[in-house]
Amino acid sequence: MREALRRALPSVLAIVASLAACFVAVGLTRGFGTAVDAFAAMLWGAFGDWPRFFDDGGSGAVLRPLGEAGTKAALLTFTGLSVAVAFRVGLFNIGAQGQLMVGAVVAAVVGAQVELPGVLHVAVCLGTAAAAGALYALGPALLKRHRGVHEVISTIMLNWVAVSLVENWLVVGPLRASASGDNSISGTAQVHPSAELPRLLGDTSRLNLGFVLALVAAAVTWWFLARLKRGYEWRAVGLNPEAARAAGIDVGRSVVHAMCLAGAFAGLAGAVLVLGTELKYPATLGAPYGFDGIAMALIGGGHPLGVLGSALFFGGLRAGGTRMQLFGVHKSFPELIQGLALLLVAARYVWDRLLARLAKKEAARA
């Protein structure tokens, strides 16, 4: 436990430091009164407006922000896991965005074009989306295994292929919904109600089953990596592929499997986005959750539960960030905070030095 806290400390410090930096930036440009108001609004918007809840007892004041935070966190968790799982075998999956798009469009098609009874429909949509994401990651994995092609290059390029294929062609071409009445429709056809992910809080919030799935996915991934033989093999491959090979572990197979799991997670993120909130593949996907996954994985230290933690936190900030606009502060501040935190985590060396010095001082005092 202590060890886990010690490992999480640099990430926590990075987040605190970037929050402080942004606070100062807002304070200097808009005045510190506004900064306090804006940050309070963000906080209430992220983790529930507790003061108002205690004032008038309306549970919506708490549930609505929390629901929105959970909805965003679910997506960040899936893409974060996607990147983190690949990290574990020593690969950098920059292709989560592309895999997410492919998963999303498959979920939209299966959700809208196939008719199945309730539970089954959701399961089939999720399954096909995960399979599509995995298949989309399989190419780079095989190229890596057999030809030594660097996965960073191949997955980045496949991101662009996904943009062209899905958003520039399928969604505006063959899969475009036919206009009904005089509504001009963008994106694909609406999915059937049977394919929608059930909402957890009724009409109060968009929070849906995807959030539960994300929690389960993070827990299962942790369990797999920490408790299973195969997870142990993956970790050994990531930490020292040559020693893993000499120990008889099939390094190539581990790489391919891990990459496919990474793709499946990203594909699931796409499915959760489509089946949970958008209910179709929209004209454009909006936030680049696939790339945010890189930030979640790094800030989460590559650990599934760390990923979950940072996804919950930044999901909250994203949800609350929109409320900063009420005070004239741009809503992209949460992303700025995330970017700064990522930068600081990447500069881990700084933290390690600082922590070492603090530990020394403490030891000297003791």
Partner 1 sequence: MIELAHISKRFGAVAALDDVSLRIEPGERLALIGENGAGKSSLMNVLYGLYHPDAGEVRFDGRPVKVRTPAEALARGVGMVHQHFTLVPTLTVAENVVLGAEPSRGGLLDLDAAVAQVQASCRRFGFSVDARARVDSLTVGSQQKVEIVKALHRGVKTLILDEPTAVLTPQEADELFSVTRALSESGLAVVLISHKLKEVLAFATRLAVMRRGRKVAEVAPKDTTAEALAALMVGEGNASDSPLPGPLPAGRGEVVLRAERLAADKLHDVSFSLHAGEVLGIAGVDGNGQRELAEVLTGLRAFTGTLELFGRRCAALSPGEARGLGVAHVPEDRLRRAVVADMTVEENVALGRHGAPPFAKGPLIDFAGRRARTAQLLDAHDVRPRDGTLRVGALSGGNQQKLVVARELDAQPKVLVVVQPTRGLDIAAVAAVRARIHDERARGCAVLLVSLDLDEVLALSDRVLVFFEGRVTAELDRAAFDERLIGRRMLGVADA
Phi, psi of 307 (to 5 degrees): -60, -45
352 touching partner 1, by CB under 8 A: no
Q: Which stretch binds partner 1 (CB under 8 A): 11-19, 167-175, 236-244, 308-316?
A: 236-244
Q: Which is nearer to partner 1, 54 or 223 (CB)?
A: 223
- Is 288 exposed, middle or buried (CB count within 10 Å of its CB: 0-12, 13-18, 19+)? middle
User: Is 227 an interacting residue with respect to partner 1 (CB under 8 A)?
Assistant: yes
Q: How far apart are CA 130 and CA 107, in angstroms?
A: 9
* 243 interacts with partner 1 by CB under 8 A: yes
How many whole angstroms from its chain centre is CA 37? 28
Pull the structure tokens for residue 153. 């290059």
Q: Which is nearer to partner 1, 241 or 288 (CB)?
A: 241
Distance CA 45, CA 317 (A): 8
| Residue 236 in the binding site for partner 1 (CB under 8 A) | yes
Name the segment binding partner 1 (CB under 8 A); options: 4-12, 199-207, 245-253, 309-317: 245-253
Is residue 244 a contact point for partner 1 (CB under 8 A)?
yes
Question: Cα separation of 65 and 60, whole Å?
Answer: 8
Q: Examine residue 242 and tell whether it contacts partner 1 (CB under 8 A).
A: yes
Q: Which helix (H) or strand (E) holds 239?
A: helix 229-239
Is the Cβ–Cβ distance between 304 and 225 less than 8 Å?
A: yes
Looking at 246, 362, 365, 366, which residue binds partner 1 (CB under 8 A)? 246
Number of shown-chain residues binding partner 1 (CB under 8 A) = 19
Using the contact rule CB under 8 A, the part of the chain among 105-113, 212-220, 225-233, 278-286 near partner 1 is 225-233
Minimum CB–partner distance for residue 234 and partner 1 (Å):
12
Among 4, 219, 239, 347, binds partner 1 (CB under 8 A): 239
**326 is a site residue for partner 1 (CB under 8 A):** no
> Are 82 and 292 within 8 A, CB to CB?
no
Q: Tokens in use for 113?
A: 């074009």
Furthest-apart CA atoms within the chain: distance in Å: 77
Residue 260 CA, distance from chain mean position: 17
Q: How far is the CB of 235 from partner 1 (least distance, A)?
A: 7
Piece of the chain touching partner 1 by CB under 8 A; list 7-15, 115-123, 224-232, 285-293: 224-232
Residue 24 binds to partner 1 (criterion: CB under 8 A): no
For residue 262, what are its two tokens?
């990474």
The residue (of 27 and 252) whose beta carbon lies closer to partner 1 is 252
Residue type, 126: L
- Which of 30, 176, 235, 331 lies at the binding interface for partner 1 (CB under 8 A)? 235
Q: How would DSSP label each residue in 57-90?
A: --THHHHHHHHHHHHHHHHHHHHHHHHHHHHHTT
Distance of CA 160 to the CA centre of its chain: 19
CB of 145: closest distance to partner 1 in angstroms? 15
Q: Which of 145, 199, 245, 331 binds partner 1 (CB under 8 A)?
A: 245
Q: Does 7 bind partner 1 (CB under 8 A)?
A: no
d(CA 87, CA 91): 5
Distance of alpha carbon 223 from alpha carbon 178, whole angstroms: 45
Residue type for position 360 = K
- C-beta of 217: minimal distance to partner 1 in Å? 19
Least distance in angstroms from the C-beta of 246 to partner 1: 5
Window contacting partner 1 (CB under 8 A); options: 26-34, 47-55, 242-250, 340-348? 242-250
Q: Is 232 in the site for partner 1 (CB under 8 A)?
A: yes
Spatial separation of the C-alpha atoms in residues 335 and 161, rounded to whole Å: 26
Can you tell me the distance from the alpha carbon of 99 to that of 79, in angstroms, rounded to the nearest whole number?
9
Q: Name the one range near partner 1 by CB under 8 A: 25-33, 201-209, 248-256, 334-342.
A: 248-256
Taking CB under 8 A as the binding criterion, the range among 82-90, 155-163, 243-251, 267-275 that sits at the site for partner 1 is: 243-251
Judge whether 275 and 112 are in contact, CB under 8 Å. Answer: no
User: Which residue ranges make up the site for partner 1 (CB under 8 A)?
Assistant: 227-230, 232-233, 235-236, 239-240, 242-250
